[in-house]
Structure 1
Amino acid sequence: MIPVPLEILLALLLVALLSGVGCTTVGAGGIFVTIALYLLTPLSSAEVAGTAHVLFVLVGVIGVVGYARSGELVGSEGRALATVLATSGVLGALAGTVLNAFVSRRLFGVLLGVLLVCTGALLAYRRLRGLPSLAAVDAKTGRGRLVFAGVGLALGTVAGLVGVGGPVLAVPALVLLGVPMLVALGIAQLQAIFISGFAVGGYYLQDSVSVALAGLLALPIVVGAVAGWLVAHRVDPARLELALGIVLVPTGIYLML
């Protein structure tokens, strides 16, 4: 049974569609699914995170197929980086699902709000001032693998705990470490499959996944993800990214209050 009235369900369907577009265009769309589930449904924090991660797995599959077809995941560097991030991200995701059990619904909202403000500010800053690479890290070296493993572990933990997709955090982090934007988007989609897949497993064992809601929201978010991949290769996503950043900051502040 769906625990929401019809008008709320329609709003969730629309949010899922737009979130799918954002996921494969700028990497930050999935977070709106988490926000909508938290604000519009009576789900617990664990159920919000668990249900959202089911959808992120689907988006990740679409994103990986698309970016593999366009070449971003074909090179040896892309494969090496994806392997390191996915492996370490799984460990973080499992840790995040365990930590979520100690987080109240109110604290979950505060943590989500802090993440939204930080992410929104970073997206807006990147568009307005640019986000230059701080370092060029080679994933094929031992040092590079260690750096990216630490990044993957941290990203996986946060994603698993708060119920956000890996791309919203991974794309800016990878760009800072010298990874090209489209490659970062493709790798983040692959990482999301592993992070969200294992997070779903953890939350399912806690009986914290709304299968009914996930099933209904699956189609619109997949359609949006396909559309987003097409947009990413045909349109400069700078304006969309700036708009997302501007929306995320006040939304995050609202959740923290």
Structure 2
Amino acid sequence: MRSESAIVLSAQLGLLLAAVGLLGGAAIGAVGPGGVFVTIALFLLLPLTPAEVAGTASATFVGTGLIGTAVYRHSGEFSTAPARKMVLVLCASSLAGAPLGARLNAVLPAAAFGNLLAAFVGILGAIIIYREVAGLHQTAWFTGAATWTRHLTLAGTGFGVSVTGAMLGVGGPILLVPILVVLGVPTLIAVGASQVQSVIIAAGATITYASVGAVLGWLVLLVGIPQLVGVWLGW
């Protein structure tokens, strides 16, 4: 990996990245998902490798996830045993998924990473439009299924979300929340669970990317500090 000092920012670009972090954090605080804006900005505005984009973005999500977890824990979203078990299953599966996703990133050419990120954003936009127009309808089979079936479904969901989130550096809530809502999980519990899982995804991805020098510390601070301020403002 290149030396961190090899990338020189103009004052205008530095302010733009800080502003993106602030707005992304505000989106995280207001609606849950929002970190993807940081990932897109890092990819489009800086000459970074896919690993540096995903690794640096993931590092900024550790703090936002911890804040989100504390807020939803304080509000009582994890007060029931089923909610706590769901979070445990999601996090356990993410322990394996996040490092795998980060390693898969290493084999992606820059063009392929950009195409996957664009496809992800397109799918996300379609989901948002569909949710606003038609709404997300809960499935009856999940809530009525046997315990082991629900746990396997949650484990598979957590694993898939963590692999994707770590590979692209987009976190987890942006994917997990709509999936859990469709499965019948109340929205606030779904958002709270996604914040806890996001810490595991971000930490696992950051450690894996940092092991190959793909986390730019100065850039984490430049984007991450305004992002934390944005989270506070969003709430």
Given the two structures, how large is their TM-score scaled by the length of structure 1? 0.85
**What's the offset of the Cα at 1:66?**
0.6
The answer (yes or no) to whether the contact 1:60–1:193 under 8 Å persists in 2 is: yes
SS at match of 1:195: helix
Name stretches of at least 5 consecutive residues in structure 2 with no aligned partner. none
The answer for the alignment partner of 2:107 in structure 1 is 102
Q: Deviations over 1:104-135 (max 9, x none)?
A: 11111100000000011101110121111124
The answer for the alignment partner of 2:50 in structure 1 is 45
Q: Aligned partners of 1:7, 1:208: CA distance in 2, in Å?
A: 24
Q: Deviations over 1:43-65 (max 9, x none)?
A: 11100000000111111001001
Matches within 5 A, 1:103-252: 103-135=108-140, 137=142, 141-228=147-234, 230=235
Q: Aligned partners of 2:20, 2:62: CA distance in 1, in Å?
A: 17
Report the residue type matching 2:226 in the other structure.
P
Report the residue type matching 1:121 in the other structure.
A
Q: Deviations over 1:203-242 (max 9, x none)?
A: 00111001000012222111111222x2xxxxxxxxxxxx
**Selected match of 1:34 from 1, 25, 39:** 39
Q: Aligned partners of 1:3, 1:152: CA distance in 2, in Å?
A: 37
Distance 1:29 1:136, change over 3 A: farther
The answer (yes or no) to whether the contact 1:93–1:160 under 8 Å persists in 2 is: yes
Q: Aligned partners of 1:137, 1:8: CA distance in 2, in Å?
A: 47
**What's the offset of the Cα at 1:140?**
8.9
Q: Aligned partners of 1:87, 1:213: CA distance in 2, in Å?
A: 29
Name stretches of at least 5 consecutive residues in structure 1 with no aligned partner. 231-257
Count of residues in correspondence between the two structures: 229
**What's the offset of the Cα at 1:145?**
0.8
Q: Aligned partners of 2:14, 2:146: CA distance in 1, in Å?
A: 46
Report the residue type matching 1:178 in the other structure.
G
Q: Aligned partners of 2:8, 2:190: CA distance in 1, in Å?
A: 36
**What's the offset of the Cα at 1:73?**
2.1
The answer (yes or no) to whether the contact 1:80–1:140 under 8 Å persists in 2 is: no
The answer for the alignment partner of 2:10 in structure 1 is 5
The answer (yes or no) to whether the contact 2:20–2:223 under 8 Å persists in 1 is: no
Q: Which moved more, 1:69-78 or 1:153-162?
A: 69-78
The answer (yes or no) to whether the contact 1:136–1:178 under 8 Å persists in 2 is: no
Report the residue type matching 2:42 in the other structure.
L
Q: Aligned partners of 1:96, 1:142: CA distance in 2, in Å?
A: 26
Q: Is 1:75 the counterpart of 2:80 in the alignment?
A: yes
Which runs of 4 or more aligned residues in structure 1 lie more than 4 Å from their structure 2 counterparts after TM superposition? none
